[in-house]
Amino acid sequence: MPKAPHGPFRPGDRVQLTDPKGRVNTVTLQAGKLYHSHKGSIPHDEIIGSPEGSVYRSSGGTEYLAFRPLLADYALRMPRGAAVVYPKDAAQIVTMADIFPGARVVEAGAGSGALTCWLLRAVGEHGMVSSYERREDFAETARGNVETYFGGPHPAWRLTIGSLEDSLDDAEIDRVVLDMLAPWECVDAIAKALIPGGLVCAYVATTTQLSRVVETLREHGAFAEPYAFETLLRSWHVEGLAVRPDHRMIGHTGFLVTARRLADGVRPPARRRRPAKGAHPDPAQTEHAQAEPAETDAAQTGTAQVTPLD
């Protein structure tokens, strides 16, 4: 299994060089090459062989701090086909979907491969991540990003170009992660593939998608009550006694919905929490609302019956 790089920098390593203003530049080390910027240059040979966390001075006198990129850094800077899952959401998916070492995980779709990297690290060498991507160009981007991060093909990853619904007939899956436009279309297929107690996690962008996937899971009958949430991330500025929230934050990126698979033949208990008034249409009110326009039209055309005053 590919292992995370450690020890001194080596040729071929990706290195982040950060200047005093916090600007980050990522380079791939090659013997005999130079890193160039408007602040001067740094020989790659000076970096190769030194430990992480070293500081290098450019020919222009600017100091740069060098570290290997974290997976969060790599995910935000990787080549993109589809939009990447942000690290804050990937962390919630790994945690709230309970992705554990050895888990059998299905992912649809693969996108640019950012979430795939997190899932592969979580399942470990004894697990399996089966990713499905309908678009061939997205699949190739994901494959390139995953293999670049892990230094080659990952033995616990299987990438399929096609629909998840067509491939899960006889599967036994522990977890399903859906990052796709219409995850409710897969509910029947994943209900058949998930083991009792298994979990589905859907990542969607809009409130209409959120509502539809939650209601589909409820109506299906094979899942416990869904849990829907989102995560907001705000960093803080700390300088002596000047402690305040930063002006910028990573706000809404997507909603997450999780639900557990019930045992076969079991129906979920009736919900005790009463829905809010107006959450679902009232048939009587709908019929009344449909009748009102006809009365109004009659009044406007002069055909309505008017009772004269005494």
Running along the chain, 310 residues long, what does each successive block of 10 average in pLDDT? Answer: 72 94 93 93 96 95 96 92 91 97 95 95 95 94 94 94 81 93 94 96 96 96 96 94 93 95 89 70 55 43 42
CA distances to 52, 231, 256 from 209, rounded to whole Å, are 44, 17, 11
Q: Is 130 annotated as a binding residue?
A: no
pTM of the model: 0.82
Residue 300: predicted pLDDT: 40
Q: What DSSP state is assigned to residue 99?
A: -
Q: Is 131 annotated as a binding residue?
A: no
Residue 281: predicted pLDDT: 66
Which residues, other chains included, contact 270 with Cβ-Cβ below 8 Å and sequence gap of 6+? none
**Peptide bond between residue 265 and the one before it cis (omega within 30 degrees of 0):** no
Q: Kindly provide the residue ranges of all beta strands, DSSP E only, lying in the chain, ordered along the sequence.
A: 14-18, 24-28, 34-37, 40-43, 54-57, 63-67, 104-108, 128-133, 157-161, 173-178, 194-204, 227-229, 236-239, 242-245, 255-260
Helices of type H across the chain: 44-47, 71-77, 87-96, 114-123, 136-150, 187-193, 207-220, 283-301
Residue 307: predicted pLDDT: 42
β-strand 173-178 against 157-161: which pairing, if any?
Answer: unpaired
Q: What DSSP state is assigned to residue 183?
A: G
Q: Is 232 annotated as a binding residue?
A: no
- Tell which residue, 70, 15, 74, has the closest CA to residue 46: 15
Q: Is 112 annotated as a binding residue?
A: yes
Q: What DSSP state is assigned to residue 164?
A: G
Q: Is 70 annotated as a binding residue?
A: no
Which residue segments constitute the domains of the chain, with CATH numbers given? 14-69 (3.10.330.20), 73-260 (3.40.50.150)
Q: Is 114 annotated as a binding residue?
A: yes
β-strand 34-37 against 242-245: which pairing, if any?
Answer: unpaired
- Tell which residue, 144, 5, 133, has the closest CA to residue 78: 144
